[in-house]
Amino acid sequence: MKISSKFNKPIARSRDNDWRLVLSLLPYARLYNKTLILSIILLIPLSISGAIQPIIIGQSVSL
């Protein structure tokens, strides 16, 4: 069974289309404004703790 060559081609996406998609989702995101802001605020300490975790584990292993 041969796979069609149209499935092997990479999809070219421009940055303009990505921004257009984000802007089209803004009216729906405004409905969940508080939840969205809270999730972005909580994302910062979560990413910091994820970066620190290997350092803490490395120090505990070397004890």
Confidence (pTM): 0.52
Locate 1 and state its tokens: 């069974």
Q: What is the pLDDT tens value at each position of the chain, 63 positions in all?
A: 555 555 666 566 677 788 888 889 999 989 999 999 999 999 999 999 999 999 999 998 877
Handedness of CA 34, 39, 42, 43 (dihedral sign): negative
DSSP labels, the chain: -PPPGGGTSPPP--HHHHHHHHHHHHHHHGGGHHHHHHHHHHHHHHHHHHHHHHHHHHHHH--
